[in-house]
């Protein structure tokens, strides 16, 4: 096989080490060309250390040494091999300004809508469990704990932005959809880090269980550097598969701005609803908001316009994981994405059959421009006053 064909099947990191003299084992994600190839092929036998079977990308995660990787390229069923890179929460060490209070007054609360949040876990905070427990499920991919926990705090904060009823603050720190349900999936550790393969397996599980938990929305306030095109990026493929299976998928774009082409995967997917951050602290009207330097900018490496839209993401107060009646403030596009997830829960309360693409169209048609460039703000700042005609 020609060298250039070998390199066409590998991510940049693997390309950089393929000709080295080392033979260390590294974690990789192997994708096959089709579902048929995945079910009929015996290529997994070439590795004795399978971490996850990943039909969501027609492949699997495993450890391989460099020689095994070289041998793999000769197999006709192999589509792409990528390094199982580190993934992390998107935080840089609200709702009222986009019209949430008016929406709730008008009767939109997200009641009965389940939002899956793949993150660091969840704490049994009073604002999610009183007067009734709205944490409908918990899955732990790290320690297999059946009892909900959050050893980092990020996942609890995200969950509160979506669905806190504000009971511990007498309504002051209420989330966007205060009667929505949360399905918490822990795939990131106490440092807010994990592997791409952990997230792939988590997305796969959310798809498999969507009818059990009545899951409608998937929030991904996490990401990793986008080294590959959409066609071969495992995270993008998994997010797109979730959309194909009827979920509405929202992802944070990352905190790598203001440089262009800094959107993280899976927000690089042209289909995913990708959310950047705006700063609403000094202004009361959306057309005066500013875009913080940290919010990642487009376009993607495939020249897709991103972000799709903006939501508040600076000094957002939400639930604390260390005090089940307390609150804390965090900043980042991680905080902007669940605002949009909460808004989608409000939409689904009124229109339960709304598809991902219908929801995305409604969101993008009801934004207000800030005057920034298209690769800075996308459609602009989400405006619920327009969206719900209130």
Rounded to whole angstroms, the Cα distance separating 337 from 118 reads 12
Q: Distance between alpha carbon 8 and the CA centroid of its chain, in Å? A: 27
DSSP per residue, 154-214: HHHHHHHHHH---GGGTTTT--SSTT-EEEEEE-S-TTSEEEHHHHHHHHHHHHHTHHHHT
Catalytically annotated residue among 77, 119, 198, 383: 119
Q: Which two tokens stand for residue 259?
A: 């440089």
221 catalytic per annotation: no
Determine which one of 88, 125, 154, 157 is catalytic: 154
Question: Rg of the chain over CA atoms, in angstroms?
Answer: 21
Contact 131, 125 (CB under 8 A): no
Which one of the listed residues 334, 341, 356, 376 is annotated catalytic? Answer: 334
Backbone angles phi, psi at 181, to 5 degrees: -100, 155
| 356 included as an active-site residue | no
Nearest CA to 135 out of 151, 114, 158, 108 is that of: 114
Question: What is the 8-class DSSP label of residue 10?
Answer: B
Contact 90, 255 (CB under 8 A): yes
Is 154 among the catalytic positions?
yes
The answer to whether the beta carbons of residues 108 and 349 sit under 8 Å apart is yes
CB distance 157 to 318 below 8 Å:
yes
Question: What's the CA gap between 177 and 163, in Å, rounded?
Answer: 5
Q: Which two tokens stand for residue 342?
A: 């909460």
User: Do residues 144 and 102 lie in contact, with contact meaning Cβ atoms separated by under 8 Å?
Assistant: no
Active site residues: 119, 154, 334
């Amino acid at each position: 096989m020609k060298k250039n064909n070998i390199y066409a099947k590998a991510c940049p990191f693997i390309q950089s080490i393929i000709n080295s003299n080392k033979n260390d084992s590294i974690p990789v994600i192997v994708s096959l060309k089709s579902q048929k190839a995945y079910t009929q092929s015996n290529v997994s036998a070439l590795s004795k250390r399978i971490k996850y079977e990943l039909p969501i990308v027609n492949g699997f995660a495993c450890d391989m040494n460099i020689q095994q990787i070289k041998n793999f390229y000769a197999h006709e069923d192999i589509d792409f091999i990528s390094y199982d890179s580190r993934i992390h929460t998107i935080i840089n060490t609200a709702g009222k300004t986009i019209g949430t209070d008016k929406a709730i007054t008008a009767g939109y609360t997200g009641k009965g809508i389940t939002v899956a949040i793949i993150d660091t876990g969840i704490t049994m905070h009073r604002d999610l469990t009183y007067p009734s427990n709205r944490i409908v499920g918990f899955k732990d991919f790290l320690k297999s704990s059946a009892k909900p926990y959050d050893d980092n705090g990020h996942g609890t904060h995200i969950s509160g932005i979506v669905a806190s009823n504000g009971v511990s603050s007498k309504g002051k720190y209420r989330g966007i959809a205060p009667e929505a349900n949360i399905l918490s999936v822990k795939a990131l550790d106490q440092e807010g880090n994990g592997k791409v393969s952990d997230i792939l397996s988590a997305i796969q599980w959310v798809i498999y269980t969507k009818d059990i938990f009545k899951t409608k929305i998937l929030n991904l306030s996490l990401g990793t550097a986008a080294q590959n095109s959409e066609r071969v990026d495992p995270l993008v493929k998994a997010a797109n598969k979730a959309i194909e299976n009827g979920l509405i998928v929202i992802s944070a774009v990352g905190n790598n701005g203001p440089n262009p082409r800094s959107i993280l995967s899976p927000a690089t997917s042209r289909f995913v609803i990708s959310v950047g951050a705006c700063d609403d602290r000094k202004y009361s009207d959306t057309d005066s908001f500013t875009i913080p330097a940290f919010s990642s900018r487009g376009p993607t490496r495939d020249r897709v316009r991103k972000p799709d839209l903006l939501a508040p993401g600076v000094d957002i107060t939400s639930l604390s994981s260390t005090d089940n009646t307390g609150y804390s403030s965090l900043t980042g596009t991680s905080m902007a994405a669940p605002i949009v997830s909460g808004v989608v829960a409000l939409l689904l309360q009124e229109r339960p059959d709304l598809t991902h693409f219908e929801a995305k169209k409604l969101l993008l048609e009801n934004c207000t421009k800030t005057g920034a460039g298209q690769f800075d703000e996308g459609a602009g700042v989400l405006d619920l006053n327009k969206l719900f005609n209130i």
